[in-house]
Amino acid sequence: MTHKVFQISGLRIVALVLLFMGALPLRAQEPAPPCILEIPVYGPLGDRLPFHVKRVSPVQNKSLNLLAVPRDGVKTTSSGDRILFSSGKIVGRALEVTLESSKGTSIKTNFIVTSCRLRRSLFFGQSGTGVDASGIAVTGHLSGCKFDGDWWVRAAPAFGGHDRVHVIDGYVQSDGSFWLVLGDYGVRHHLIVGKGKDPIKVMGFDVTAGKKTDVGAVDLTHLCPN
Tens digits of residue pLDDT in 103-151: 899 999 999 999 999 999 998 887 876 665 668 899 999 999 999 999 9
Q: How far apart are CA 167 and CA 162, in angstroms?
A: 12
Return the percentage of the chain with pLDDT > 70, whole number: 80
The answer as to whether 222 is a domain residue is no
153 and 105 fall within a common domain = no
Q: What is the DSSP string of 173-216?
A: -TTSEEEEEE-S----EEEEEEETTEEEEEEEE---BTS-EEEE
pLDDT, tens digit, 9 for 90 and up, residues 33-50: 589 999 999 999 899 999
The answer as to whether 176 is a domain residue is yes
CA atoms lying within 13 Å on the CB side of residue 188: 17
147 and 88 fall within a common domain = no
pLDDT, tens digit, 9 for 90 and up, residues 70-97: 888 899 999 999 999 999 999 999 999 9
The answer as to whether 8 is a domain residue is no
Domain, as residue range, for 71: 35-123
Averaged confidence pLDDT in the chain: 84
Last residue of a domain, one of 77, 100, 123: 123
**Predicted pLDDT at 58:** 95
Distance of CA 217 to the CA centre of its chain: 28
Distance of CA 57 to the CA centre of its chain: 21
74 and 140 fall within a common domain = no
User: Is the distance from CB of 55 to CB of 63 less than 8 angstroms?
Assistant: no
**Predicted pLDDT at 162:** 57
Structural domain count, the chain: 2
Tell me the whole-structure pTM to 2 decimals. Answer: 0.73
Q: Looking at the predicted structure, is the pLDDT value of residue 15 above 50? A: no
51 and 100 fall within a common domain = yes
Show Cβ contacts of residue 130 under 8 Å, excluding neighbours closer than 6 positions: 210
Q: How far apart are CA 202 and CA 177, in angstroms?
A: 16
Q: Looking at the predicted structure, is the pLDDT value of residue 4 above 80? A: no
Q: What is the CATH number of the domain that holds 182?
A: 2.60.40.1120
